[in-house]
Amino acid sequence: MNKKTYKKNIFADKATLILRKMLQEPDRKWVVRDFNGPEGVSLGLTQQVLEIIAQKGYAERIKKGPESHTVLTYPDKLIKEWTQFYKFELNTVKTYYTHDQDILKKMKAVLNNHTYALTLHSGANLLTSYVKTDQVYIYLRTDNWDKDILNVRQKLDLKELVSGGNVHFIEPYYKTSTFANSQKIEGYSVVSNLQLFLDLYHFQPRGREQSEFLKEKLEQEGKTLGQ
pLDDT tens per residue, range 71-92? 999 999 999 999 999 999 999 9
Residue 91 confidence (pLDDT): 98
Return the closest-CA partner of residue 171 out of 195, 140, 200, 148: 140
Q: Taking the chain, what is the end-to-end CA distance rounded to the nearest angstrom?
A: 32
CA pair distance 101, 135, nearest whole angstrom: 11
Mean pLDDT of 194-201: 98
Residue 67 confidence (pLDDT): 82
Residue 4 confidence (pLDDT): 44
Domain boundary among 78, 97, 123: 78
Residues 99 and 201 in one domain: yes
One-letter amino acid at 106 equals K
Q: Which of 29-36's residues contact partners 24+ apart within 8 Å by CB, and which partners?
A: 29/62, 29/69, 29/70, 29/71, 30/69, 30/70, 30/71, 31/68, 31/69, 31/70
Residues 74 and 141 in one domain: no
Q: Judge whether 9 lies within some domain.
A: yes
Residues 97 and 193 in one domain: yes
How many independent structural domains does the chain possess? 2
Domain hosting residue 14, numbered range: 3-78
Domain boundary among 78, 98, 113: 78
pLDDT tens track for 114-167:
999 999 999 999 999 999 999 999 999 998 999 999 999 999 999 999 999 999
Beta partners for 169? 94, 138
pLDDT tens track for 40-52:
789 999 999 999 9
Q: Judge whether 83 lies within some domain.
A: no
Phi, psi angle pair for 139, to nearest 5°: -75, 140
Residue 40 confidence (pLDDT): 72
Q: Judge whether 205 lies within some domain.
A: yes
Residues 55 and 110 in one domain: no
Longest Cα–Cα distance in the chain = 63
Residues 139 and 188 in one domain: yes
Q: Judge whether 46 lies within some domain.
A: yes
Q: Judge whether 226 lies within some domain.
A: no
Mean pLDDT of 15-37: 94
pTM value > 0.85:
yes
Check whether the bond before 205 is cis (ω within 30° of 0): yes
Please tell me the total number of residues recorded for the chain in this structure: 227
CATH at residue 14: 1.10.10
Residues 50 and 72 in one domain: yes
Residues 74 and 132 in one domain: no
Residues 134 and 180 in one domain: yes
Residue 5 confidence (pLDDT): 44
DSSP letter at 18 equals H
Residues 118 and 211 in one domain: yes
DSSP letter at 95 equals E
Domain boundary among 78, 106, 127: 78
Residue 1 confidence (pLDDT): 38
- Beta-carbon count within 10 A of 60 CB: 13
DSSP letter at 178 equals T
Residue 146 confidence (pLDDT): 93
Return the closest-CA partner of residue 190 out of 132, 133, 131, 111: 111
Mean pLDDT, the chain, rounded, equals 93
- Beta-carbon count within 10 A of 43 CB: 12
Residue 138 confidence (pLDDT): 98
Residue 7 confidence (pLDDT): 59
Residues 110 and 197 in one domain: yes
Residues 46 and 137 in one domain: no
Q: Judge whether 154 lies within some domain.
A: yes
pLDDT tens track for 90-119:
999 999 999 999 999 999 999 988 999 999
